[in-house]
Amino acid sequence: MNATAPIAPLLRGLKLLTGPLAGTAAAPLALALMLALGSQFNEFPLGIQAGIAVLAVVWFLRRRQETGPLTGWRLWLAGLACALGVRWQYGYWFGQEPGVALVALLVWLKWLETRSERDERMVAALALFLLTAVFLRGQTPLHALAVFAGAGLVLLACARLTLSSFQRLPTDQPARDAARTMAWAIPLALLLFVLVPRVPGPLWGLPADARAGKTGLSETLEAGSIAQLARSDEIAFVVEVQEGELPAARYWRGPVLEVYDGRSWKPSPWRAPNPALEATQGSAKVRYRSLQEPSDLPWIFTLERTHALSGAVEVERTSTGSWRARRPLLQRTRFTGEARFGEPLPEALTSTAIRALTFLPPQANPRTREAGEAIAREHLQPEARLEAIADFFRKRQLRYTLTPPPVARDSADAVLFDTHAGFCEHFADAFAVMARAAGLPARIVLGYLGGERNPANGTWIIRQADAHSWVEVWLAPHGWVRVDPTTFAQPERAERGLGEVLLEREGLPLLLRPEWRWAWRLRAQLEAWEYGWNVWVAGFDAERQHRLWRSLGWRPDRALGWALAATGMALALAALLAWWLQRPPTSRDPLERQWHRFCRLMARRGLARAPAEGPLDYGRRLMRHFPQASGEIEALLRPYLQARYGGGLATEEAAAAMRRALHQLRRRLRQEKSA
């Protein structure tokens, strides 16, 4: 009693607050809606948030005071206001976001006008929809916990609704039965999860406003765009090495930017096939799997020189050697890749391509262009020119910082001649401009550099803070050579993390700072678990399902039929299991067990034993009904009575006699029936 003492006033207060709502179906349903909407509340715009809050409070007050259902023009007006509010907040009608917001508002209106059990069941269905919509925002264990708890509450509400016509019902009994059924459903649900063949989505295409809801690398480069990202320690992707070893300098390539307009770099829309890419070179081979977090772009970040890639979505290799999917990667996606590195990326450039890749807008960055052109005049060989530019950069004594002084325009000039400070995008931009001025085809690569090994499960975690940009320069006989201008400012960056090489740590995520190692280790363990969850639960897709089937020995081409058959068997098994669980409890006592078998046999013939009827009375009644079988009935009753009420017969012996008699009786009754 002492343990419950502090909670008692709390419960009393809660009861005072909820008033007549306690014990009704509305209470768990309201809690489920709070879970569903609470898990995605900050995804709604302010107006929608306010609308939901107001409607919820109105609903609560009206229900609490047992005001009747809302009807007539007020309801219609409120509905119209909700629709217009959604249109005003989002600016368009149709899409995923306004759709969910509209349901989130209308569910309260529906509930305000609710009158019957059927209406409340409608609200329950809408609550289930809103709970599923939470998974559009994220599929972490926390989301799963909230949603499954909410769904359980909805089912509890259904159980209470079923009994709403009963008065003064004990409230805990339906809840207990509902909870038991929900628990029994778990094994079957697991089987269905593994066995029911996954249909690869999307079925009808995603709405235009589908978003990943995450910030990541964009596909253009402007001064400051990466430094912003370096402050985020969110995971970009996780890599699991299957074969070989990752190189010390782990460059993860994303989009390649070839178009420069004097301010920003963009990917080239020009996509010619590049047959040279097919030639794989290099001896060092790595096979890896990566799990990439959702983003609004289709780019897949792969280890440099990845020549083969596959995944749950369709992928293609661009002419620049980058990989992209057909559609934006709005879901967390898993890829398997193979890379061979050690040699330059081969490509034979036409003169048109060379002209395009050395193009600079005439007015921008005059000083850098002049320096580049001077180098071109001094050196004829491309290698010599490249070396001269590198020398130029080294001599500038550039400072690597997350917070460089702002530059307005001509950023390459500003970094090289005025501020001498910058982040990777500033150096890459300046280097590419100077290389182009020196007549070398150059482009910028966006991606990630490095990543750290998670000691808990051996995976490599690449974070947004590892975002990086570097330059590729085309050298006539070889092809594209990677140059990382950041190393001129900070030579260690290529092989070490940002936190270790930055001198000023201002603005860096806490966990990237070396003095926070203990927290880092804790987080590593959490992230290892999260990776397992993402791969096995949240990321369990058609591909992973097929792989699991294959490991169980099913051939994928026949797996569909197998899966259907297995699903049917699972359902049948579940029904059997349920049957077994629901049958009357059997006794451990062998005597009692035989007696129950006998009673059940008779009950099937419509002669159930009355609760107050003793074995003797029952036996007499049965003999009257089945005079032909009276001998068998007596043969069965006598050992039971003797063992039970002191006739000196051992239990085992009596049970065996009863079993024999039961067998005889069953045969006799069958004979009777056929006769």
Partner 1 sequence: MTGRAVPSWRKRLERWQRRRAATPGGTFTVTNRTLYILPTAAGAGYALTLLVLWLLAINYSLSLGHALVFWLAAVAVMAIPATAASLRGVAIDVGEPEAVFAGERLRWPVMLRSEVARFRPLELTAPEAHAFAWLTPTEGSVRVFLEQDTERRGLVRLGRLVVATRHPFGWFRAWTVLWPTTSAWVYPRPEPDAPPWPATASLAEEAGAMSAGVRPGEEDFADLRPWRAGEPLRRVLWKIVARGGPRMLPRREGPAAGTVLLRWNDTAGADNVEARLSRLCAWVLGAHRQGLAFGVELPDGLMPPDRGESHLHAVLRRLALFPPEAA
Residues in 515-554 at the binding interface with partner 1, rule: CB under 8 A:
537-541
Cβ–Cβ < 8 Å for 421, 415: yes
* CA separation for the pair 253, 339 (Å, rounded): 12
Between 522 and 575, name the residue whose CB sits nearer to partner 1: 575
351 binds partner 1 per the rule CB under 8 A = no
Between 170 and 269, name the residue whose CB sits nearer to partner 1: 170
* CA separation for the pair 452, 528 (Å, rounded): 13
The full length of the chain comes to 675
Selected binder of partner 1 within 62, 198, 266, 453 (CB under 8 A)? 198
Stretch that binds partner 1, among 154-162, 318-326, 434-442, 484-492 (CB under 8 A): 154-162
176 binds partner 1 per the rule CB under 8 A = yes
* CA separation for the pair 638, 635 (Å, rounded): 6
Kindly state the tokens that stand for 82: 């909700």
Site residues (CB under 8 A) for partner 1, limited to 621-660? 621, 625
584: left (phi over 0), alpha (psi -120 to 50) or beta: beta
Selected binder of partner 1 within 34, 70, 297, 578 (CB under 8 A)? 578
208 binds partner 1 per the rule CB under 8 A = no
* CA separation for the pair 311, 1 (Å, rounded): 58
Cβ–Cβ < 8 Å for 521, 467: no
Site residues (CB under 8 A) for partner 1, limited to 105-124? 117-118, 121-122
475 binds partner 1 per the rule CB under 8 A = no
- x/- mask, partner 1, residues 71-110, rule CB under 8 A, reads ----------------------------------------
Between 16 and 612, name the residue whose CB sits nearer to partner 1: 612
135 binds partner 1 per the rule CB under 8 A = yes
Q: Taking the CB of residue 277, how many other CB atoms lie within 10 A of it? A: 18
Between 174 and 499, name the residue whose CB sits nearer to partner 1: 174
Tell me how far, at minimum, the Cβ of 430 lies from partner 1, in Å: 42
Between 135 and 516, name the residue whose CB sits nearer to partner 1: 135
3-state DSSP of 494-532: HCCCHHHHCCCCCCCCHHHCHHHHHHHHHHHHHHHHHHH
Tell me how far, at minimum, the Cβ of 242 lies from partner 1, in Å: 22
DSSP string, 88-154: HHHS-SSSHHHHHHHHHHHHHHHHHT--SHHHHHHHHHHHHHHHHHHHHH---HHHHHHHHHHHHHH
Stretch that binds partner 1, among 8-16, 190-198, 423-431, 494-502 (CB under 8 A): 190-198
* CA separation for the pair 300, 309 (Å, rounded): 10
Stretch that binds partner 1, among 48-56, 76-84, 173-181, 342-350 (CB under 8 A): 173-181
Which DSSP helix (H) or strand (E) runs through 19? none
SS3 assignment, position 311 = strand
663 binds partner 1 per the rule CB under 8 A = no
How many residues contact partner 1, by CB under 8 A? 81
Could you tell me which residues come within 8 angstroms of residue 214 by beta carbon, excluding any fewer than 6 positions away?
Answer: 234, 293, 294, 295, 296
Q: Taking the CB of residue 20, how many other CB atoms lie within 10 A of it? A: 12
Stretch that binds partner 1, among 159-167, 262-270, 469-477, 551-559 (CB under 8 A): 159-167
568 binds partner 1 per the rule CB under 8 A = no
Based on C-alpha coordinates, what's the Rg of the chain? Answer: 36
Tell me how far, at minimum, the Cβ of 654 lies from partner 1, in Å: 24
Selected binder of partner 1 within 30, 82, 158, 471 (CB under 8 A)? 158
Tell me how far, at minimum, the Cβ of 198 lies from partner 1, in Å: 7
Residue 337 pairs in a beta bridge with: 288, 309
Site residues (CB under 8 A) for partner 1, limited to 290-349? 312, 330-331
Whole-Å CA distances, 440 to 75, 374, 376, 428: 70, 13, 9, 14
Between 249 and 601, name the residue whose CB sits nearer to partner 1: 601
Stretch that binds partner 1, among 236-244, 486-494, 570-578, 667-675 (CB under 8 A): 570-578
Tell me how far, at minimum, the Cβ of 35 lies from partner 1, in Å: 13
Selected binder of partner 1 within 68, 73, 166, 674 (CB under 8 A)? 166
Stretch that binds partner 1, among 427-435, 509-517, 581-589, 629-637 (CB under 8 A): 581-589
Selected binder of partner 1 within 136, 149, 246, 481 (CB under 8 A)? 136
206 binds partner 1 per the rule CB under 8 A = yes
585 binds partner 1 per the rule CB under 8 A = yes
169 binds partner 1 per the rule CB under 8 A = yes
* CA separation for the pair 345, 481 (Å, rounded): 7
Of 30, 49, 50, 51, the closest CA to residue 40 belongs to 49
147 binds partner 1 per the rule CB under 8 A = yes
Tell me how far, at minimum, the Cβ of 320 lies from partner 1, in Å: 28
37 binds partner 1 per the rule CB under 8 A = no
Selected binder of partner 1 within 144, 297, 481, 635 (CB under 8 A)? 144
Between 185 and 456, name the residue whose CB sits nearer to partner 1: 185
Between 453 and 544, name the residue whose CB sits nearer to partner 1: 544
Could you tell me which residues come within 8 angstroms of residue 462 by beta carbon, excluding any fewer than 6 positions away?
Answer: 235, 236, 237, 238, 239, 252, 301, 448, 450, 451
Site residues (CB under 8 A) for partner 1, limited to 596-625? 603-608, 610-611, 621, 625
User: Residue 541: what are its φ and ψ, rounded to 5°?
Assistant: -115, -170
Beta strand 299-300 with 251-260 is unpaired
SS3 assignment, position 664 = helix
Selected binder of partner 1 within 75, 125, 374, 501 (CB under 8 A)? 125
